[in-house]
Amino acid sequence: MVGGGLVGLAVAYGLARRGRSVLVLDEGDEARPASVGNFGLVWTQSKGLGLPAYSAWTARSARLWTDFAATLAAETGIDVRYRQVGGLHLCLNEAEVEARTRFVAQMQSQMVTAGVRVEMLDRAQTRDLAPAISNAVVGASWSPLDGDANPLFLMRSLIEAGQTQGMRRRTRQRVAAIRPGDAGYELELHDGTRLSAARVVLAAGLGNAVLAASLGKSFPVRPERGQILVTRRMPRFLGLPTSLVRQTDEGSVLLGDSKEDVGFDYGTTPEIGARIAARSIASFPVLRTATVVRSWGALRVMSPDGFPIYQTWPDLPGLWALACHSGVTLAAAHAGPLADAIDGGAAPAEISQFTTGRFDVPSARAV
């Protein structure tokens, strides 16, 4: 396994539970992946416009999450703080309500097929679920399948559970190149070390583009920065997550919904931080007195259309390349049905479209 983020760790844990000998090569946090700086949502509403299979895959993972979290807790004693309590996307004016209503209507048929229920709520209905909202909140969309978890506890539990199952992990191990070998594949690390493996899973996030290129393959991913603000612990005012504001079980509050095309710059900026804070305060006036104790930026791994890539190549047997920007939401599916497929089982029907072939315009036209 090349890559130690949430995608790679979830798959590695799933393979280890199936009795496979797994070695994770983890570069570490130097590249600031979203795995170490994300919002912690397990989110289904609005996922997959234009690709119904992604709605279905996301919903499948969300339904697996309760058992997934319970299994991790039983194996490690770590509570990843998963809550399936529903989630809100808040609208601050009538124009936002109209836009969100149109969007939900566009998604309706594929969400129904996936078993995802999303409702548009007025201000009173939204306040019933989140009493601390301001009068500036005109309405919201809500889905009972949504929830959240602690992503740092999730990562720690995947590492410990995987190691309990025999998974090995080497940190600060960056793979410089990979090439077919006599017994599968040969991996060259940046320190000159060479390793061989019968099967390889590339889950190195943005690094997958370079690793795939060393095999003569295209793997189109790009960075998208997101910034998050974190406050001191506050008295409980929010009992369910929103797409902008989430209060953790410890009481601290995470704020953030930025999407920035700034290349590989994972820094923070006062302008974006001020914009996040302003919208958060407009939604929840109690945040006027909150103290921000830290902020961070992290890089999402984005394909050209924003959907996952789960890729194999006929001339590279035993090799998978994976990328997605929903490592928390999809963790249960990655450890379950995706790991089954990588282990040689039947590939889930939902993921058949998640290949790089969808970006090949001539091939798409031929179909």
The pLDDT score that the predictor gives to residue 188 is: 93
Contacts of residues 355-359 at CB distance under 8 Å and 24 or more positions apart, as own/partner, are 355/309, 355/310, 355/311, 355/312, 356/218, 356/219, 356/220, 356/309, 356/311, 358/305, 359/220, 359/303, 359/304, 359/305
Locate 277 and state its tokens.
């804070």
Q: Delimit the domains of the chain by residue range.
A: 6-75+151-221+305-366, 87-144, 224-302
Q: Which helix (H) or strand (E) holds 279?
A: helix 270-283
Write out the CATH class of domain 224-302: alpha beta
The pLDDT score that the predictor gives to residue 366 is: 35
Reported as a single tens digit per residue, the pLDDT across 152-195 is 999 999 999 999 999 999 998 999 999 998 889 999 999 999 99
The pLDDT score that the predictor gives to residue 36 is: 62
The pLDDT score that the predictor gives to residue 363 is: 43
Cα separation of 241 and 244, whole Å? Answer: 8
Task: Show pLDDT as tens, one digit a residue, over the chain (367 residues).
Answer: 899 899 999 999 999 999 999 999 998 765 555 566 688 999 999 899 999 999 999 999 999 999 999 999 999 999 999 999 999 999 999 999 999 999 999 999 999 999 999 999 999 999 999 999 999 999 999 999 999 999 999 999 999 999 999 999 999 899 999 999 888 999 999 999 999 999 999 999 999 999 999 999 999 999 999 999 999 999 999 999 999 999 999 999 999 989 999 999 999 999 999 999 999 999 999 999 999 999 999 999 999 999 999 999 999 999 999 999 999 999 999 999 999 999 999 999 999 999 999 998 654 433 3
Residue with structure tokens 């990979």? 178
In terms of pTM, does the model score above 0.85? yes
Write out the CATH class of domain 6-75+151-221+305-366: alpha beta
